[in-house]
């Protein structure tokens, strides 16, 4: 196949995987011409929810940054076998690498923040506990929450067209997260900051963003972020809820340093 025809074929595959067929996460290695049995949850979605049948196509991804166009060989409500037809690199990742440290919020606010931040291009999320965190989680309940949040990440990738799956790290104390060694610019929102996102400089396009709980960070915690050399940023003149603050800041960073706009 000539270079021109190959380029046309790559565009066709990309359009198919992003517009015409369902995107399904399959946490296993994938290769062209390989026959794959979809994992239980993926098979249930394809066979029971979408009611797809043999001959139809799905777009698989496993987190390696590629889209894999596949044809269904057989499908039931619990078992789906597909054949991988082609592989194409997915260039939907932002040049901005963003690590969100989010103090755990109540109810479905944390779920919402995780889902939308993944759609906006965040790479890593660490759930945090702080002095004013109103959520009490530990042990098995916390582990189940982490697993639930990772499933939300996968669903957001399926919806938004990403083929690299962000990681939900184990939950930790805010002070421990702030003390971690990093080459990223560390950002904290502060109403008395001297500049906003437009005043930042990112030598390596890497950011660690901390977002506090509904009641904000305590005075002691704000002092602690200063000790760990966080840069204070003014987001605007209005007080935002924790989930709004996270998503607004991520959007502003993507506008300035990433691929939005």
pLDDT tens track for 222-256: 999 999 999 999 998 898 999 999 999 999 999 99
pLDDT at 14: 53
Is there a single domain that holds both residue 129 and residue 162?
yes
Contact 135, 106 (CB under 8 A): yes
What phi and psi values does residue 55 have, to the nearest 5 degrees? 100, -20
- Model confidence at 7, in pLDDT bands (50, 70, 90)? low
- The number of beta carbons lying within 10 Å of the beta carbon of residue 69 is 22
CA distance 227 to 261: 34
Q: Looking at residue 191, what is its pLDDT?
A: 87
Structure confidence by residue, pLDDT tens digits, 168-194: 999 999 999 999 999 999 999 998 898
Picking from 89, 122, 143, the residue at the C-terminal end of a domain is 89
Q: In the predicted model, is pLDDT for residue 3 greater than 60?
A: no
Same domain, 46 and 79: yes
Q: How confident is the model at residue 2 (pLDDT cuts 50, 70, 90)?
A: low
User: What is the β-pairing status of strands 80-89 and 66-75?
Assistant: antiparallel
In terms of C-beta density within 10 A (0-12 exposed, 13-18 middle, 19 or more buried), how is residue 92 classed? Answer: middle
- Number of alpha carbons in the 13 Å side-chain half-sphere of residue 32: 5
Q: How many CA atoms lie within 13 A of 244 on its CB side?
A: 8
- Residues 108-121, mean pLDDT to the nearest whole number: 97
Return the closest-CA partner of residue 195 out of 232, 223, 240, 225: 232
Whether residue 143 sits in one domain with residue 104:
yes
| Average pLDDT value over all residues in the chain | 92
Pick from 89, 118, 152: which residue ends a domain?
89
Q: Are residues 73 and 104 in the same domain?
A: no
- Do 22 and 58 fall into the same domain? yes
Place of tokens 């944390």: 110
pLDDT of residue 12: 53
Give me the number of domains the chain comprises: 2
Picking from 58, 89, 120, the residue at the C-terminal end of a domain is 89
H or E segment to which residue 7 belongs = helix 3-15
Same domain, 148 and 208: yes
Question: Measuring CA to CA, how many Å separate 252 from each of 199, 238, 247, 259, 261?
Answer: 12, 15, 9, 11, 10
Q: Range of 172's domain?
A: 97-257
Average pLDDT over residues 56-78: 96
In this structure, what CATH number is given to the domain that contains residue 63? Answer: 2.40.240.20
Contact 105/243 with Cβ under 8 angstroms?
yes
Asked if 94 contacts 121 with a C-beta cutoff of 8 angstroms, the reply is yes
- The closest of 122, 115, 120, 116 to 101, measured between CA atoms, is 122
Residue 142 burial by CB count (10 A; 0-12/13-18/19+): exposed, middle or buried?
middle
Range of lowest pLDDT (6-10, 64-68, 75-79, 243-247): 6-10
């Amino acid at each position: 196949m000539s270079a021109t025809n190959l380029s046309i074929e790559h565009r066709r595959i990309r359009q198919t995987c992003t517009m015409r067929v369902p995107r399904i996460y399959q946490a296993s290695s994938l290769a062209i011409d390989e026959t794959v049995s979809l994992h239980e949850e993926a098979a249930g979605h394809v066979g029971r929810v979408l009611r797809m049948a043999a001959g139809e196509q799905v777009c698989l991804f496993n987190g390696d940054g590629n889209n894999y166009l596949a044809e269904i060989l057989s499908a039931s409500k619990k078992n789906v076998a597909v054949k991988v037809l082609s592989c194409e690199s997915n260039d939907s990742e932002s040049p901005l690498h963003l690590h969100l440290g989010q103090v755990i919020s109540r109810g479905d606010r944390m779920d919402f923040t995780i889902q939308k931040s993944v759609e906006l291009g965040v790479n890593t999320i660490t759930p945090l506990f702080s002095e004013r965190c109103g959520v009490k989680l530990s042990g098995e309940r916390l582990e189940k929450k982490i697993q639930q949040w990772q499933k939300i990440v996968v669903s957001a990738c399926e919806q938004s067209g990403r083929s690299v799956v962000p990681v939900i790290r184990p939950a930790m104390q805010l002070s421990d997260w702030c003390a971690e060694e990093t080459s990223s610019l560390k950002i904290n929102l502060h109403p008395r900051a001297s500049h906003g996102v437009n005043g930042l400089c990112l030598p390596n396009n890497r950011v660690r963003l901390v977002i506090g709980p509904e009641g904000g960070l305590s005075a002691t915690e704000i002092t602690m972020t200063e000790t760990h050399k966080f840069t204070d940023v003014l987001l605007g003149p209005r007080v935002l809820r924790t989930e709004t603050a996270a998503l607004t800041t991520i959007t502003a960073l993507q506008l300035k340093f990433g691929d939005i706009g």
